[in-house]
Amino acid sequence: MPYVRGREVHRPVNDILDNVKRLYEEGVREISLLGQNVNSYIDGDIDFPKLLALIAEKSNMPRIGFLTSHPKDFSEALADVIASHENIMPMVHLPFQAGSNSVLKRMNRKYTREDYIKKIEIAKKIPDVVLTTDIMVGFPGESEEDFEQTLDIVKRVAFHEAYMYRYNQRPGTRAESFNDQVPEEIKLERLDRLIKIQNEITANLLNKEVGKTHLCLFENISKRNKKELIGRTHNGLRVVVEAEATQTGKIYRVKINGLAGNTLKAAVVNRT
């Protein structure tokens, strides 16, 4: 990706803090810090965990999230910052792409499956954490055994959500020249198996939320029912609630009482 997008550029700390404060004054109640790899942020002696802590402590923003972390850089320091600040959303998107060390090496990912599992163990220490990931199937040279190792990580970690896709050749990339391209029908068959397993894991995890209460930011009116609002819990789970349109943009405590597909159904308990 650096070959496509060029060298990373980081915004100064004070610019970011001023931006967050201004957004809060304008009525924004949730922000996301974005970067191809947020963990590589640096401004003087301020790295990403320190930046995140500064924003949490020096602004009134009630919900702070970020995307995306690279597995090789996710640290205990970052997990500790998330766990120790109530206004940092306990959501960690940690792409692993493939579960086979040989495939990861060919992808030039700079970490092993063992490294990745250690990072997940760190992330799972965060209370109420929701883990999501990216997974690619059918990278050149991927064998059935390699793919099974990917499924093994999916089952061991139990992600709430995964962005799953098959490898497609891209002109100008190193992988395009590999001779051992995986046939399209095999890629599609593996992707189908992966999606079915992940969907079952997601359903099981969401069912465990029934009966719990969460703080929820109502984001917009449901397209299916104008009397319902769509929102996200403090750890990023999608919720639908029967509520007035005037409640959009506000945070309420809700109780989860069921499921509608992969969306939690809830009722308002009280306003924070």
Residues 6+ apart with CB under 8 A from 171: none
Instruction: Note the CATH number of domain 213-271.
Output: 2.40.50.140
**What is the pLDDT at residue 271?**
65
Q: From 3.40.1190.20, 3.80.30.20, 1.10.760.10, 3.30.70.260, which CATH number describes the 2-207 domain?
A: 3.80.30.20
> Is the Cβ–Cβ distance between 136 and 169 less than 8 Å?
no
1 or 24: which leads in pLDDT? 24
- Residue 4, pLDDT > 60, answer no
Looking at every residue in the chain, the average pLDDT score rounds to: 94
pTM for the structure as a whole:
0.92
Per-residue pLDDT at 3: 47
Could you give the residue range(s) of every CATH 2.40.50.140 domain in the chain? 213-271
Query: Which percentage of the chain shows pLDDT scores above 90?
Result: 83
Give the residue range(s) of CATH 3.80.30.20 domains in the chain.
2-207
- 214, 239 in Cβ contact below 8 A? yes
